[in-house]
Amino acid sequence: MAYTAFRTMREVNKSRFSKEVGPFEPAKYCSKKNPNDLKSAAIRFLHDTCEGLRFREEADAEFYGADCTGRSTAPGQIPYNLQMDIDRLSLERELGNFIDSGTAEDAYTVYYCFLEMFIGKYGASHSMIELLSEFESNASSLLMKHRDHYSHSVYVFALGLAIYETNEKYRNIFRKFYKDQIGFRKDEPEESKAARTACFFLEYWGLASLFHDIGYPFEIPFEQVMSYFEIDKKKRGPGTIYLAFHDVGALTALSHDAQARFKTLYEKEFTTTDELLAFDITSKLGEFYGFNEKYMLDKLRSKPGEPHNNGYFMDHAYFSSARLCKELFDTIGKNRGVAGITKAHVDVLSAIMLHNSLFKFAIAFYKEGKDRKPELRARLHPLAYMLMICDELQCWDRTAYGRNSRTELHPMAADFDFSGGKIDAVYYYDAEESAKIADFRNKYDAWTETKRKKGKEAAGEAPRLKAYSDMNEKEKIFLTEIRHIVDTSIMPLTAVPDVRPANRKSKHIYLSDSNFLHLYDFAVSLNGRYSHQGEEEKIKTEQLESEFNEMSLEYKLSNIRQARNFAMYLNVIDCFYTDKPVDFDMLTSFKQEELDVIAPMEHERWVREHIAMGWSCGAEYEDKETDISDPGKYGLAESLTPEEIHDALREQMRRHKLTMDGNPTEAEIRKHFDGLSEEDQGKDWKPMESMLKLIKKYDGLRIYRIE
């Protein structure tokens, strides 16, 4: 059983109440068609391999009467390790939802889970990643070439988990590289070593993959100027107008605490992230590739201010690593103390620094033919290796923002088979673009024939249909470039193109549109309505956020999902919200028939959410049979009221009278809703009424009727 705290809690509850009352571990997703596809492998990693994630051994006593330190709706309700299992299950469910949809909203909840679990409270760090999404969607349309990096990063995260789960060679390399930092105990069972290594990988791979592109807001303005200049089809080079960044010390300078911590770790003084990463990269790759620390430091220092010495490009990776370094000390450093910053965190930063252009053009020179140096070996830098291969593989389902990018042909979906440690990928293109594909094939065949008969000079450059041509043409540029960057001998790679009809409905795209940052604000406000009903416009946001943070990750996510679904509910009743001036009638209140449509939909969301999170149907506590005279035997504080004790027991059993068991149909859930009391039905439509008041608080958002 992968969720061991669920099992322990259920066994304890059975001894308390002399019958099975839960909690029950929910089923694990596994594709019947291919148990080693992307979703199955990534979910299996979280469900099975990361057993005991973030557990504290001393907290096991909380199952047997010691004071509970875990939080659910409030602190002190459940054993700490049970909360950790519920957090892991939350991440598992959100990642599965994202792989199914690929939407930015589902990417958002994956980020949310990871930040809450491994960095600190989401509210302290949210701007770091949310602004990337906002900046891309608003500024990138001015570029010639640019595609999404927000959902892309979550796909990269999922790819890494799937590869780790299915590739024993990589697992062994990673474990050997980090065995001292993981700190295996003498005579520790093999199962425990494997689980702890997987948990270690999850934390540091998550940091590398999810934050590797957060520096794009620095690269986008540079590319905007370039795009304007390149309208005349001029190539980058001498005479090019470009932006350069100065006074970057404001970003790269290490704080006093950071300098002290890195001196403790490396017995060497660093004043900037440039110096730190030049040292770390050289220590890992310098001997193998023949460069020294001064060479690397000069290369890094040239990145922001000397684009002319870097191919007239700006490297977002430089800014991503510096920005994340600052964030780690602002969050982890404050939450756990600077001792919480480890050498593995520095490995994350150097992996990010290497992933874009630094390794390709300043270390391996991968396009230099005879002068090309060897591709990166996993044993030299396991995190950088994984980031590079996953970053290259993730080229599907990426929103195109740039003007040229919107007209090029990119894969809309992909199927992966990771069986046997291999990576077999099929990239799918929209069948509606078959005419464009056929035209390319005819031109390419004609070019090939001309080249054969008259030679390369007469044929000229090969026709291109990026990225289809990179996968389909004889040269196989897509695979060749990956193999020039990373050593694929430990994970043999194939990639082929195919076509199929697009399934755009899976994106659930609605007319409602607003600043992406509002999701968190909506969720915080929605939660506040339960205790501040009628005061939505008066209550201060700081108090609402404080109350929101008292809940566990599971309940925070529930509020976020409720807020996110508001766009869908409005769509069904022909309404939408926006912060743009539009010529439609404004909605000031819901009609009763509209609430009658919305409420069952919200109930279905709530029921399915509870089933997915392992809740079962039943009395929240045994009224007549449960002895609450001694709350201490449940690990609860003596000062709790009977209602608070009952609430805590509900969380320990994970039973709720309003949910359902099994896998009910939509019709069965509707019938269940119709059988609820008016009071219970009101729980599903009253939050929507509150949203009408709450939504006005954010940047001029208003709701309109399409009619």
Task: Give per-residue pLDDT as tens, 554-597.
Answer: 999 999 898 888 888 989 999 888 877 888 888 888 889 999 99
Give the strand pairing for 655-656 and 616-617. parallel
> In whole angstroms, how far apart are CA 605 and each of 516, 663, 700?
21, 13, 28
The confidence score (pLDDT) of residue 166 equals 98
549-566 confidence digits (pLDDT tens): 888 999 999 998 988 888
Sheet holding 585-586, edge to edge: 575-578, 702-705, 585-586
Question: Which of 703, 524, 681 is CA-nearest to residue 595?
Answer: 681
pLDDT greater at residue 102 or residue 627:
102
666-674 vs 592-612: helix crossing angle, rounded to 10: 120
Same domain, 383 and 476: no
Alpha helices (runs of H) in 27-72, residue ranges in sequence order? 38-44
The label of the residue with tokens 């700190």 reads: 183
Same domain, 435 and 306: no
Q: Is 515 exposed, middle or buried (0-12, 13-18, 19+ CB in 10 A)?
A: middle
Please state, in angstroms and rounded to a whole number, the distance separating the CA atoms of residues 601 and 360.
50
Provide φ and ψ at 121, rounded to 5°: -60, 135
Three-state secondary structure call for residue 409: strand
CA 472 remoteness from chain centre? 30
The confidence score (pLDDT) of residue 140 equals 46
Please state, in angstroms and rounded to a whole number, the distance separating the CA atoms of residues 198 and 45.
8
Please state, in angstroms and rounded to a whole number, the distance separating the CA atoms of residues 582 and 441.
45
**How much of the chain exceeds pLDDT 90, in percent?**
57
**Does the bond joining 23 to the residue before it have cis omega, within 30 degrees of 0?**
yes
Same domain, 396 and 448: no
Which residue type sits at 628? I
pTM of the prediction? 0.93
Alpha helices (runs of H) in 306-394, residue ranges in sequence order? 316-330, 332-336, 343-353, 382-393
494-551 confidence digits (pLDDT tens): 999 999 988 766 666 677 765 555 677 778 877 877 666 666 566 666 777 788 888 8
Q: Are 688 and 566 in contact (CB under 8 A)?
A: yes
| Domain presence at residue 26 | no
| Domain presence at residue 208 | yes
Of 477, 506, 535, the last residue of a domain is 506
| Domain presence at residue 588 | yes
Three-state secondary structure call for residue 502: coil
Structural domain for 154, as ranges: 107-407
DSSP strand E in 516-673: where? Answer: 575-578, 585-586, 616-617, 655-656
Please state, in angstroms and rounded to a whole number, the distance separating the CA atoms of residues 318 and 273.
9
Please state, in angstroms and rounded to a whole number, the distance separating the CA atoms of residues 158 and 44.
11
Same domain, 235 and 165: yes
Please state, in angstroms and rounded to a whole number, the distance separating the CA atoms of residues 83 and 77.
10
| Domain presence at residue 136 | yes
**Does the bond joining 425 to the residue before it have cis omega, within 30 degrees of 0?**
no
269-293 confidence digits (pLDDT tens): 999 999 999 999 999 999 999 999 9
Tell me the HSE value of 22 on the side-chain side, using a 13 A CA sphere: 24
Question: Which of 389, 698, 643, 646 is CA-nearest to residue 514?
Answer: 698
Q: Is 33 exposed, middle or buried (0-12, 13-18, 19+ CB in 10 A)?
A: exposed
The confidence score (pLDDT) of residue 401 equals 44
Same domain, 350 and 235: yes
369-400 confidence digits (pLDDT tens): 788 999 999 999 999 999 999 999 998 887 65
Residue 216, pLDDT above cutoff 50: yes
The confidence score (pLDDT) of residue 197 equals 98
Q: Are 252 and 273 in contact (CB under 8 A)?
A: yes
Residue 603, pLDDT above cutoff 60: yes
Residue 439, pLDDT above cutoff 90: no
Average pLDDT in the chain: 87
Same domain, 219 and 139: yes
Please state, in angstroms and rounded to a whole number, the distance separating the CA atoms of residues 112 and 114.
6
Per DSSP, 699 falls in state T
pLDDT greater at residue 608 or residue 513:
608
The alpha-carbon radius of gyration of the chain (Å, integer) is 27
Three-state secondary structure call for residue 450: helix
The confidence score (pLDDT) of residue 692 equals 76
Q: Could you tell me the pLDDT band of residue 639, with boundaries at 50, 70 and 90?
A: very high
The confidence score (pLDDT) of residue 550 equals 85
The confidence score (pLDDT) of residue 587 equals 84
Residue 171, pLDDT above cutoff 80: yes
Same domain, 312 and 253: yes
Same domain, 117 and 144: yes
| Domain presence at residue 542 | yes
Can you name the residues that pair with 147 across neighbouring β-strands?
Answer: 400
Query: 3-state SS string over 141-200?
Result: HHCCCCECCHHHHHHHHHHHHHHHHHCHHHHHHHHHHHHHHHCCCCCCCHHHHHHHHHHH
CA 136 remoteness from chain centre? 17
Of 506, 538, 565, the last residue of a domain is 506
37-84 confidence digits (pLDDT tens): 999 999 999 999 999 999 999 999 999 999 999 999 999 999 999 999
104-114 vs 518-528: helix crossing angle, rounded to 10: 70
What average pLDDT does this structure show over 242-257? 95
Q: Could you tell me the pLDDT band of residue 237, with boundaries at 50, 70 and 90?
A: confident
| Domain presence at residue 625 | no
Q: Could you tell me the pLDDT band of residue 143, with boundaries at 50, 70 and 90?
A: very low
CB atoms within 10 A of CB 434: 11
Please state, in angstroms and rounded to a whole number, the distance separating the CA atoms of residues 198 and 7.
21
Kindly tell me the sign of the dihedral angle through the C-alpha atoms of 450, 456, 459, 463. positive
Same domain, 532 and 427: no
Tell me the HSE value of 292 on the side-chain side, using a 13 A CA sphere: 1
pLDDT greater at residue 123 or residue 456:
456
Same domain, 174 and 204: yes
Of 474, 506, 538, the last residue of a domain is 506
Please state, in angstroms and rounded to a whole number, the distance separating the CA atoms of residues 136 and 685.
35
Provide φ and ψ at 477, rounded to 5°: -60, -40
Query: 3-state SS string over 641-688?
Result: CHHHHHHHHHHHHCEECCCCCCCCCHHHHHHHHHCCCHHHHHHHHHHH
| Domain presence at residue 224 | yes
For 111, the token pair is 């980020």
Same domain, 258 and 244: yes
659-703 confidence digits (pLDDT tens): 999 999 999 999 999 999 999 998 888 887 877 777 766 666 788
CB atoms within 10 A of CB 438: 10
Same domain, 497 and 515: no
Residue 235, pLDDT above cutoff 80: no
| Domain presence at residue 581 | yes
Three-state secondary structure call for residue 363: helix
Report the domain count for the chain.
3
Give the strand pairing for 585-586 and 702-705. antiparallel
